[in-house]
Amino acid sequence: MIKRFLLLFVLFQATSCDTLQSVVDGATNVLSNEEIARGLKQALEIGIGEGSQKLSAVDGYFKSPYKILLPAEARKVTDRLKFIPGFNDVENVIVQKLNRAAEDAAKKAKPIFVDAIKGMTFNDVLDILMGADNAATNYLHNSTNTKLYNEFQPIIKASLDEVNATQYWRDAVTAYNKIPLVADVNPELDDYVTDKALEGLFSMVKVKEKTIRTDVSARTTTLLKRVFAKQDNK
């Protein structure tokens, strides 16, 4: 209890001091604010780098827990089109194309996250370091989600066009909308795929963040080990 009180006290003081000094296992360990910020940002860049790299590989989305499936509205289209020549395998085809688009877009996501990380203040860093296992992921989501969407959506749209998903789906929806007595369906998928692609990317970063926080062996640099020792003793 005394150790925890001392740690919280010095963490509070650190917001206005040049160094953060905490008591760890009875020894004094001094890290500058710059080192603390650099260590946390390094951890986030590792998580984001690995996350985007995995998801941007072939089948990174398609054969992962983050696979993008058709929305419920779209499934009613594919169910009816199974009996129309040329569209009997429409769901499998379009799902693969959606995930290929997301995989392509994931290659371009990292710089957007990195810019957000570079813009963190020391107070942001300290709050994240001593926060929950997903504090950094939440920070990135809250501070960049709108910008990410605005930047990501055109990439997704271009990627969908590149793999012919947009035209393929429009053709499928056009065929569906010609069926008597059915409600017309919107043929645009880019908004939906963008949301799901970002959701998967944030989920991947969250997993890596938690691993770095809880698994000492995942702290691959000396600086990471020193900085995250602070949150181990919070």
What's the CA gap between 128 and 139, in Å, rounded?
8
Whether residue 38 is contained in a domain is answered as no
Reported as half-sphere exposure (CB side, CA atoms, 13 A), residue 44 has a value of: 30
Whether residue 32 is contained in a domain is answered as no
- 41 neighbors 120 (Cβ within 8 angstroms): yes
pTM: 0.71
Whether residue 143 is contained in a domain is answered as yes
Whether residue 181 is contained in a domain is answered as yes
Q: How many domains does the chain have?
A: 1
Whether residue 146 is contained in a domain is answered as yes
Nearest Cα neighbor of 101 from 68, 65, 130, 134 is 68
Whether residue 206 is contained in a domain is answered as yes
Inter-residue long-range contacts of 167-171, CB under 8 Å, 24+ positions, other chains counted:
168/93, 168/94, 168/97, 169/94
pLDDT by residue (tens digit) across 189-231?
Answer: 788 888 899 999 889 888 888 887 787 777 777 877 777 776 7
pLDDT at 20 over 70: no
Domain interval for residue 63 = 49-221
Whether residue 4 is contained in a domain is answered as no
pLDDT by residue (tens digit) across 2-19?
Answer: 333 233 323 333 333 344
pLDDT by residue (tens digit) across 120-175?
Answer: 888 888 888 888 888 988 998 898 788 778 877 888 888 777 766 677 677 777 77
Whether residue 72 is contained in a domain is answered as yes
